Structure 1
Amino acid sequence: MATFVTVFVSGLALGSISALVALGFIVTYKATGIINFAQGGLVTLGGYLGYLTAVQFGLDWWVAYPVVVVLMFFVGVAVERIVHAPLRSRPELVVVIATLGVGLVISAVLLEFYGTETRTLPALLPGKVVDIAGANIAAYDLVIIGVTAVGVTLLALMFNRTQLGRQFRAASLDPEVAQLQGIPVKAFGMFAFGLGGALAAVAGLMLAPRASLETNFGFTAMIAAFAAAVIGGFGRFAGVIVGALVLGLVEQLGTQYVAYQFKAVYPFALMILIVAIAPRGVLGSQSRVRV
């Protein structure tokens, strides 16, 4: 029982990281109709900026991490200005491929500066464990789950309880009508890419202490997050979160109780199964995904 609880909480933590990346996908998609495949590179960049500020510059995490999140917001805005804005009138597939190109450029630049050597970002509360039902749970896993819960709550409050959120939803539902009503649709596109960059930064900072920090580590997280978005029903925040948590649990439980060597297979086998049964996701997508 203790082992199950430990693996279960670890799966929730892994799923929470995927949820953060997937929410970056959904925010951008809702505002622009584009799936931003630069998210993988942005997650990687967020992890490396955390390493730069907290390890190389020696800043305390409570100073370094907020700085990284703010910087990554503006990196996301820059991606929108460089990739989305000039290609807005082109077919969506062209823009999607361009975003993937941005992610690959980010990885190439990081490879040039840091090489192939792997690095580790120190975890918050290193070595600390919490006893839950007789199981020793890594305190850092609880930190990840808590950070994700706070982030999701803030996003929900912003989109459902603020004027900014209402305008954002109006712009995503019908951009042309929203623009006629004086809503700055293009500005919301920039904001969405920026918010996606900030979410990628948080995910990278949370993931880096759990995985070796190397120039492609964010792409693995991006693929898992995309699978979570598909499982949950692209366009629905609740569905994406459920999909991410389920994927994290399936991966960890499968690794522990079935076969470790198929660790990377379990999430995508589940995705194929669910898509075959429910093509619009477990909660149903709100609109057709454009790629």
Structure 2
Amino acid sequence: MTELQLWLSALEMGCFFGMLALAYYLVLVGAGFFNFAIGPYAMMGGLCTSWLVIEYDMGVWPAAAIAVGATVVLAALTELVVVRPVQRRSGGGELPALVAVAAVLFAIQQFAGYLFGHPTLPGQSLATFDPVTVGPATLQPSALLLMVATVVAFVATALWIRYTRTGRLLRAVGDSTHAARLLGLPVNRIRLVAFLLAGVLAAVTGLLFAPKAGVNSLSGLSWSVSGFLAVVVGGTGSVWAPLVGGLLLGAVEVFVPYYFGGHSHVYGLLLVALLFFALRPQGLFVRTVRA
């Protein structure tokens, strides 16, 4: 394997981690806590698409649309049926919300296993064309689609947060939910928007990444951890911070096992996480909260 091929693989993994982290970021900014159900959302996007194509011989685009729609419904239910009632009864605490979304994570995995079964299904590519040659390396269609989607998602999110009213409200609610309520801002609506957008991003990410290694009902947990670590590394100081964290973890994911073999990437990711938790828990980019 050429060094360029390794870098392309690292870029693909980094885009995957970064997209998951961006979904985390939106909920973190809009609702003030980590939504650990992001991984299962992504798993549902990929698994539901593959299941519809394989079991019902459905076209990949209609299957993907149904999968994304179903995931968005799950994201909305997470906020409306689980998180919001829990926080209302607990006085708005973050810990009950974290426990609630952790329960949602495992509930979605169990539901997916019951509905789709437990075997790993091959991912379905949204487009079929010849691999793209980049010097001595090749880029598979699914990897190219994921990279393009990552650029589009981050640019669109950055512009949305900066220039639209809803995006600015998201930042205001994230700065201080209490102050936002006192000012009469639509906090509940903004939180729901954050969950819905995170659901769309996660679902698209899952179905674009699934062709690389397949997807099963247990993929959600590991994907949740990967996205969370990318946020921890990148921080929340910028919309682009999750992508920076994702790219760093992507490099670790690819290069560490290449040079050290086996499952050494697991220890590499753990080492990076421990270093950031211990030395820079706020991540590379720190978010400034307005008083």
Normalising by structure 2, we get a TM-score of: 0.90
CA contact (8 A) 1:128 1:139 kept: yes
1:93–1:231 CA distance, 2 compared to 1 (3 A): same
- Return structure 1 stretches of 4+ with deviation > 6 angstroms: none
Partner Cα distance (2:116, 2:63) in 1: 19
Distance verdict in 2 for CA 1:228–1:286, change over 3 Å: farther
Relative to structure 2, which stretch is displaced further, 62-71 or 87-96?
Answer: 62-71
| CA deviation profile, 1:229-269 (whole Å, cap 9, x unmatched) | 11111464222110001101121111222323312222221
Of 170, 173, 177, 2:172 maps to 170
Q: Is the 8 A contact 2:48 2:116 kept in 1?
A: no
Q: How many residues align?
A: 286
Which residue is equivalent to 2:43?
A: 44
Counterpart for residue 60 of structure 2: 61
Aligned-partner SS, 2:138: strand
* Residues 13-52 of structure 1: pairs in structure 2 closer than 5 A: 13-52=12-51
* Alpha-carbon distance in structure 2 between the residues aligned to 1:41 and 1:15: 19
Counterpart selection for 1:122 from 121, 124, 127 = 124
Distance in 2 of aligned mates of 1:286 and 1:107: 36
Residue identity in the other structure for 1:211: A
Deviation at 1:181, TM superposition (A): 3.7
C-alpha change, 1:285 and 1:161, in structure 2 (3 Å) is closer
- Unmatched 5+ stretches in structure 2: none
Deviations 1:87-109, CA, capped at 9 Å, x for gaps: 12423212211111111111111
Return the alpha-carbon distance in structure 2 between the equivalents of residues 12 and 51 of structure 1. Answer: 24
Q: Is the alpha carbon distance of 1:228 and 1:173 closer, same or farther for their aligned partners in structure 2, counting shifts above 3 Å? A: same
Does structure 2 retain, via aligned residues, the 8 Å contact 1:204–1:218? no
Task: Report the CA distance between 1:124 and its aligned residue.
Answer: 4.1
Measured on the aligned residues, the alpha-carbon RMSD in Å equals: 2.0
Name stretches of at least 5 consecutive residues in structure 1 with no aligned partner: none
Distance in 2 between residues matched to 1:32 and 1:250, nearest whole Å: 30
Q: Pick which of 43-52 and 270-279 moved more.
A: 270-279
Taking the TM superposition and a 5 Å limit, the aligned residue runs for 1:208-287 are 208-234=210-236, 236-286=238-288
Deviations 1:150-209 (A, max 9, x none): 111111111111111112212221223333444211111111111111111012102221
Partner Cα distance (1:25, 1:227) in 2: 10
* TM-score, with structure 1 as normaliser: 0.90
Note the C-alpha offset of 1:284. Answer: 2.4
8 Å CA contact 1:236, 1:286 repeated in 2: no
Counterpart position of 2:113: 111
Distance 1:204 1:136 in 2: 22
Q: Give distance in 1, aligned partners of 2:288 and 2:242.
A: 12
Change in CA separation of 1:151 and 1:15 when aligned onto 2, cut-off 3 Å: same
Could you tell me how far apart the structure 2 residues matched to 1:254 and 1:286 are? 33
Structure 1 counterpart of 2:232, which letter?
Answer: V
The secondary structure found in structure 1 opposite 2:132 is strand
Counterpart residue type for residue 121 of structure 1:
G
Amino acid at match of 2:228: F
